[in-house]
Amino acid sequence: MRWEQLGREDATAALFGTDAVTRRFDTPEFRGITFHEVRARSILNRVPGASRMPFEWTVNPYRGCSHACVYCFARKSHSYLDLDTGLGFDTQIVVKTNAPELLRRELAAPRWRGEHVAMGTNVDCYQRAEGRYQLMPGILAALRDRANPFSILTKGSLILRDLELVRQAARVTEVSIALSVGFLDGELWRSVEPGTPSPQTRLAVCRTLAENGIPVSVLMAPVLPFLSDSPEQLRATVRAVAAAGAGSVTPLVLHLRPGAREWYMAWLAREHPHLVRRYEVMYAGGAYAPTWYQRRITRQVHEFAAEVGCGPAGGFRRPAADRGAVREREPAREPEPVRERDHGEPGDTQLTLL
- Contact at 8 Å (CB) between 122 and 58? yes
Report the mean per-residue pLDDT for the chain.
Answer: 84
**Average pLDDT, integer, range 79-101:** 91
Q: Is residue 98 predicted with pLDDT exceeding 80?
A: yes
Cα–Cα distance, 351 to 354 (Å, whole number): 10
pLDDT of residue 80: 82
Q: Is residue 239 predicted with pLDDT exceeding 80?
A: yes
Q: Is residue 199 predicted with pLDDT exceeding 60?
A: yes
Q: What is the per-residue pLDDT across 334-343, written as a single tens digit (0 to 9) for each?
A: 544 434 443 3
- Contact at 8 Å (CB) between 117 and 174? no
pLDDT band at residue 246 under the 50/70/90 scheme: very high
pLDDT of residue 322: 32
pLDDT of residue 183: 98
**Average pLDDT, integer, range 226-237:** 98
pLDDT band at residue 128 under the 50/70/90 scheme: very high
**Average pLDDT, integer, range 227-236:** 98
pLDDT of residue 327: 32
- Contact at 8 Å (CB) between 351 and 60? yes
pLDDT band at residue 11 under the 50/70/90 scheme: very low
Q: What is the per-residue pLDDT across 31-86, written as a single tens digit (0 to 9) for each?
A: 789 899 999 999 999 987 655 667 789 999 999 999 999 999 999 888 888 888 89
pLDDT of residue 317: 43
Q: Which of 53-57, 153-157, 311-315 comes out lowest in average pLDDT?
A: 311-315
Q: What is the per-residue pLDDT across 284-312, written as a single tens digit (0 to 9) for each?
A: 999 999 999 999 999 999 999 999 998 77
Q: Which of 70-74, 153-157, 167-171, 318-322 comes out lowest in average pLDDT?
A: 318-322
Q: Is residue 147 predicted with pLDDT exceeding 90?
A: yes
Q: Compute the radius of gyration of the chain from its Cα atoms.
A: 19
Cα–Cα distance, 96 to 351 (Å, whole number): 14
Q: Is residue 219 predicted with pLDDT exceeding 70?
A: yes
pLDDT of residue 20: 44
pLDDT band at residue 313 under the 50/70/90 scheme: low
CA angle (9, 15, 16) in 5-degree steps: 150
Q: How many CB atoms lie within 10 A of CB 102?
A: 22
